[in-house]
Amino acid sequence: MAAGRVQLGVFYFMAFLVATSQGGIQALSRSYFGKLIPKEQSGESRYGVLSLTVLFAVGGILLAVAGRSERQGKGAA
For residue range 28-64, what is the model confidence (pLDDT) as tens digits? 998 898 888 888 877 777 788 889 999 999 999 999 9
The amino acid present at 3, given as its one-letter code, is A
Give the whole-angstrom CA distance, residue 44 versus residue 55.
Answer: 18
pTM of the model: 0.44
Q: Where are the domains of the chain?
A: 1-36, 45-77
For 37, the 3-state DSSP assignment is coil
Q: Alpha-carbon Rg of the chain, whole angstroms? A: 21
State percent of the chain over pLDDT 90. Answer: 43
